[in-house]
Structure 1
Amino acid sequence: MKRYALLSGLFFFISCIQTAFGQSEESIHIAVASNFTPVMKELAFEFEKSTGIKVKASYGSSGKFVAQIAHGAPFQAFFSADQAKPKALEHQKLALPETRFTYAIGALVLWSTKQTDQDNLIAQLKNESYRNIAFANPKLAPYGAAALDVFRNLKLPTPERYKWLQGENIAQTYQFISTGNADLGFIALSQLKQQVSQPKGVTWEIPKHLYSPIKQDAVLLKRGQTSQATKDFLMFIHSKTSQEIIKSFGYDIP
């Protein structure tokens, strides 16, 4: 982490060289947790604009990406929705040591398009007076695990299986709620921040003490160890420009 912080200034030097001698045609391929989709699209746009290096990003479940990387998927860097999965890749020697860092800290929100009052929304959760509730698979998605923390800390029983609409990832969970298929559900605050207009319904931003911090780590993968462009992109994430973009989508910065 310290090494990346020290080297982050090199990105701007590299950018100047590339601007002076023509833009690079190099590209990189990264795996990104689905909750970070809109942020990464903006970050990739800014990076490509500055360097000419194209960022190809695949979005999905962090848990599934780990399995794909273990089976040889051609990703050069991994932006996870948690810390555990990049650490696991380090232990498997599929990620380079001393390159892992926390790039964002997520926030959890309870959302319903069928309620118009926050007090009613909270009461509906606590009284289990809902037909069904959506949250991501806690075995694969950190935001799903955080939702289970909320149930435990509020001393509420985990929803019965017939009431639980389980999303494969946080993006699918959002769809369950936005279409009205779920009465309410847990999503990332960032998913609401990306909306141009005020989201329909009502939200409750879950107090931070009700769930473990959702620290999201990135790491350079073994396939990216010879790619200077990938290393430059990871250094770019430390820049002030990147951090302002990340915060604008409702994330905290470590």
Structure 2
Amino acid sequence: MKWQMALVLMLFSAVAQAQLLVATAANFADTLRALAAMYQQQGGVPVRLSVGSSGKLFAQIRHGAPYDLFFSADLMRPQKLYQAGLASRPQPYALGELVLWQPQGPLPPRQRLLKQQFRYLSIANPHTAPYGRAARQVLVKLKLWPTVRTRVVRGENVGQAFNYVRSGAAQLGFVARAQVVQIGQDDDAHRWLVPQSLYDPVVQAAVVIRRSRQQTAAQDFLAFVLHDPAARHLIQQHGYRLP
């Protein structure tokens, strides 16, 4: 943790006061980059992103990382920061959807999972990544966890879980729907849209960090993400539902 904090502090020291330093869950990184570009085009300040699992970013913030905002992939961690007096009240900005994805395969993803026709299955770390926790819930509810757990490879975050499948290290992976939308594979041959009855809702929430020295700019960027019609439309285009 100490070396991670040192890297965060070095990054912060290189960011001019006119910029925002935003911690974001891996699944929302590409969407937030697009939102930041749109915001800057409308006259907003530049936004610098730090990407990771929600759990690791949460720990960094609790240890003093100098972020201005935190876009988590869950509601729980922003709520804990708020209760500890470290952040503003959490604001849900998107509802995530879990998919089982394969770049190619002999069967549709759901059938392939049920028949266990794969060597490795990729998920994000259930202890630090909300999409990983959701993936484990699905496997438990389908009564597959005891038989597939030895073939599960865990990414540090859902971005890494996605990359394991994309690189061929795993044949199937539970990832965010937004990730497959962005590569043009949001169809039945490539992904199974997991019924929401199989996992807890992935309510993604954001907070402004209390120690931020740029409260006004941080609140303005968050308001843009939450309320600007073009921003809301972009979030939907990227594979999320609106809260």
TM range (shorter): 0.7 to 0.9
Report what 2:205 is aligned to: 217
How far is the alpha carbon of 1:81 from its aligned partner? 0.3
1:88 to 75, 80, 86: 80
**Within the alignment, does 1:133 sit opposite 2:125 as a pair?**
no
Q: Are the equivalent residues in 1 in contact too, given 2:20–2:214 (CA < 8 A)?
A: no
Report what 1:112 is aligned to: 102
Report what 1:248 is aligned to: 237
Report what 2:137 is aligned to: 149
Report what 1:50 is aligned to: 42
How far is the alpha carbon of 1:51 from its aligned partner? 1.6
**Within the alignment, does 1:71 sit opposite 2:63 as a pair?**
yes
Report what 1:14 is aligned to: none
Q: Are the equivalent residues in 2 in contact too, given 1:114–1:180 (CA < 8 A)?
A: no
Q: Which moved more, 1:82-91 or 1:149-158?
A: 149-158
Per the alignment, in what secondary structure is the counterpart of residue 204 of structure 1? strand
The aligned amino acid for 1:137 is N
Report what 2:219 is aligned to: 231
The whole-number CA distance in structure 2 between the counterparts of 1:92 and 1:63 is 16
The whole-number CA distance in structure 1 between the counterparts of 2:222 and 2:146 is 38
Q: Which moved more, 1:136-145 or 1:50-59?
A: 50-59
The whole-number CA distance in structure 1 between the counterparts of 2:215 and 2:85 is 17
Report what 2:157 is aligned to: 169
Q: Which moved more, 1:238-247 or 1:109-118?
A: 109-118
The whole-number CA distance in structure 2 between the counterparts of 1:31 and 1:112 is 29
The whole-number CA distance in structure 1 between the counterparts of 2:18 and 2:98 is 36
How far is the alpha carbon of 1:52 from its aligned partner? 4.1
Consecutive unaligned residues in structure 1, runs of 5 or more: 1-24
* Higher Rg: 1
The aligned amino acid for 1:184 is L
Q: Are the equivalent residues in 2 in contact too, given 1:117–1:202 (CA < 8 A)?
A: no
What TM-score, normalized to structure 2? Answer: 0.86
The whole-number CA distance in structure 1 between the counterparts of 2:141 and 2:157 is 23
Consecutive unaligned residues in structure 2, runs of 5 or more: 1-16
Q: What are the Cα deviations for residues 15-42 of structure 1, in whole angstroms up to 9, with x where unaligned?
A: xxxxxxxxxx821111000000111011
Instruction: Let me know the Cα RMSD of the aligned residues.
Output: 1.9
How far is the alpha carbon of 1:226 from its aligned partner? 5.0
The whole-number CA distance in structure 1 between the counterparts of 2:146 and 2:127 is 15
Report what 1:12 is aligned to: none
What TM-score, normalized to structure 1? Answer: 0.83
* Paired-residue identity, %: 38
How far is the alpha carbon of 1:223 from its aligned partner? 2.0
Per the alignment, in what secondary structure is the counterpart of residue 138 of structure 1? coil
Q: Are the equivalent residues in 1 in contact too, given 2:96–2:177 (CA < 8 A)?
A: yes
CA shift in 2, pair 1:223/1:199, >3 Å: same
How far is the alpha carbon of 1:213 from its aligned partner? 1.0
The whole-number CA distance in structure 2 between the counterparts of 1:159 and 1:205 is 22
How far is the alpha carbon of 1:57 from its aligned partner? 1.2
